[in-house]
Chain A
Amino acid sequence: MTLIDLANPTKFLSLTARILPPLAALTAILLLIGLYQSATAPDDYQQGATVKIMFIHVPNAWLSMFVWGVMSVAALGTLVWRHPLADVAAKAAAPIGAAFTFLALVTGSLWGRPMWGTYWEWDARLTSVLILFLMYLGLIALWRAVDDPSRAGRAAAILTLVGAVNIPIIKFSVDWWNTLHQPASVLRMGGPSMDRAYLIPLLVMAVAFSLLFVTMHLAAMRNEILRRRVRALQMMQASGQPA
């Protein structure tokens, strides 16, 4: 099967039926390994055991931005190449991205209270991530508000590309403005500044959560294709057209 074959929804469904079970199993195994490594990681000399929150906060924060990146590529697919699966991919990714962003905000708050003395601060990093969460909710609302999936897809694609401006703002907010949030310690010039005792569990959890996203995204895309088939058959039924 070539990449171009995946433009065919039926071939895409065939592919997902084959790869979802092993992908889900691999995700579960990596999550278990990551959770074990997170549980047995040593306490930090300053943060104590609260450093364990990092192993779930950081992967969710990374994915909150990565999923918007995936949706932006899909938006280009909708507007430029008119790929038949592009807006299916974008629509399926939005609720998952919203969930990861929500988890990044909640776990960040729960980490911030013991470390900073506050659950929330209206600084650049926290506020820009909150805006990202609201943009995800706006996109989901847009898809629900417009009946025709292709019209909704085009409008959502434009909104997604406009919203992509927020991603570099989130990434570099800790460098551009004064903030309580610490600067980048993994994806930075000069390599990670973190000790291996924390870096390895963090990377395992990041890969595990990324696989979790891929698994859930493929399954949600499959559901969206089936939903569009239901819609097409219901429209044929309502119009009384013969098959």
Chain B
Amino acid sequence: MTALGPYASFIVTSYAVVAAVVLILIFWIAIDYRRQKGRLRELEASGMVRRSGRSAVDMS
């Protein structure tokens, strides 16, 4: 901290806030992906299929 001078707390807080918000965004996107795929699997398991007949979770 001393190497960062008298305003170390401002510098460290800035980097910590950026890291926290970016990590929250990444986790939010990852959790949303799992949730949507889970819902699609449930719907397909209940017999609902797309008009094309292809699996809704098919990414290929």
Contacts and interface: CB of A to CB of B under 8 A. Distances in A.
Contacts of A106: 14, 17
Nearest to B60: A14
A233 B56 contact: yes
A13 B48 CA distance: 20
A224 to B, nearest CB: 9
Interface residues of A, number: 41
A243 B47 contact: yes
B contact patch SS: helix
A216 B29 contact: yes
Given A114-B10, A233-B48, A243-B51, A226 B33 contact: yes
Contact of B36 (A113, A114, A230): A230
A243 B48 contact: yes
Contact of A49 (B11, B28, B39, B40): B11
Contacts of B28: 95
Interface in B1-36: 3-8, 10-11, 13-15, 17-18, 21-22, 25-26, 28-30, 32-33, 36
A223 B33 contact: yes
A235 B56 CA distance: 15
Please provide the 5 A-B residue pairs with the shortest distance between their CB atoms, ordered closest to farther: A226-B36, A114-B7, A17-B59, A233-B43, A49-B4
